[in-house]
Amino acid sequence: MAMVTPFRKDGSVDFAGLKKLTAHLIEGGADYLVVQGTTGESVTLTKEEKKEVLDTVLEANNGTKPVVLGLGGNNTYELVQQMSRMDTDGIDAILSVTPYYNKPTQNGLVEHYKALSEASKIPIVLYNVPGRTAVNMMPDTVARIAFECKNIIGIKEASGSVEQIMNVINVTPKEFMVISGDDALTLPLLAAGCDGVISVVGNAFPKEFSQMIHAALNNNFEEARAIHYKLLDLIHLLFAEGNPAGIKEVLAHLDICENYLRLPLVPVSEKLSDKIRKYLVEEEFMG
């Protein structure tokens, strides 16, 4: 699950809420925890806060679930230094987004990830999300990286293109994991051969979403479809005014953590909040 970072009204990190969320995900059957990804508002955390957030999750998790740390950026040199020096105790893999803003070529992406691969002591998962980065890592590029960098073990694919993701599955090694980065597309992608998902809605409903994933992986698509369609309207609501504003609103309604974000992000509108509450009541997720 792509964990949110709970904040308090004064803008400080809500470590009690973070511990509560970690326990909620573990008890709900999440297969692994992703810390400081996009959903975790990692770009607004200080260096010191990032360490404290990671340490808090590691302590609360206590080795129960694998932990993936989000660590990416557009300064390859700085990332190489971080990866070569970091303490990886308790961290099972790194999720590293494609460089944003400076818009590298496909060859530039290959060289960027080769450098990270050589520096990292633990496996790396690529993260392609062109809607945020302004660069789309193409299937042939992913295949080059997968074949040339043995400690790059998979990709979180959030291009939004089912055809592109199928092509990634088709051209990469069988053992290379292709992971959905889009909750709404996860079920059809599993049918096409994806290996799983790094989910946003799973913050709130880890049990239900995990059941859907495992049902689909076991070819029980009747059960998987029932859960998919039960959550689909909510998934659309979650992203109507941006992520993680939507999922934090749900978590607040469920009394898991408060709904505060760091600027430039802001909470959802009252209108969307009412729609989310209506969904939760009608689907009997809350009274």
At 110-159, the pLDDT tens digits run: 999 999 999 999 999 999 999 999 999 999 999 999 999 999 999 999 99
> What CATH number is associated with residue 176?
3.20.20.70
Residue 284: pLDDT above 90?
A: no
Residue written as tokens 């059941």? Answer: 211
Q: What is the pLDDT of residue 194?
A: 98
What is the rounded distance in angstroms from the CA atom of residue 212 to the CA atom of residue 207? 9
Q: What is the mean pLDDT of residues 36-48?
A: 96
Is 0.85 topped by the overall pTM? Answer: yes
The residues that are catalytic are 127, 156
Q: Is residue 29 part of a domain?
A: yes
Residue 286: pLDDT above 90?
A: no
Q: Is residue 61 part of a domain?
A: yes
**Higher pLDDT pick, 287 / 169:** 169
Residue 44: pLDDT above 80?
A: yes
Q: Is residue 142 part of a domain?
A: yes
pLDDT digits (tens, 9 = 90+) for 192-209: 999 999 999 999 999 999
Report how far apart the first and last C-alpha atoms of the chain are (Å, whole number): 25
Q: Is residue 72 part of a domain?
A: yes
Distances from the Cα of 22 to the Cαs of 30, 32, 180, 233, 255, in angstroms?
Answer: 10, 11, 21, 25, 14
Q: Is residue 257 part of a domain?
A: no
β-sheet bridge partners, residue 152: 124
Q: What is the pLDDT of residue 115?
A: 98
Domain count, the chain: 1
Give the range of the structural domain holding residue 122, as residue numbers without chain letter: 15-218
pLDDT digits (tens, 9 = 90+) for 45-85: 999 999 999 999 999 999 999 999 999 999 999 999 999 99
Q: Is residue 104 part of a domain?
A: yes
Residue 238: pLDDT above 80?
A: yes
Q: What is the mean pLDDT of residues 277-286?
A: 91
Q: Is residue 248 part of a domain?
A: no
What is the rounded distance in angstroms from the CA atom of residue 246 to the CA atom of residue 237? 7
Contact in structure between 43 and 62 (CB atoms under 8 Å) = no
Counting Cα atoms < 13 Å in the Cβ hemisphere of 226 gives 6
- Write down the mean pLDDT value for the chain: 97
Q: Is residue 234 part of a domain?
A: no
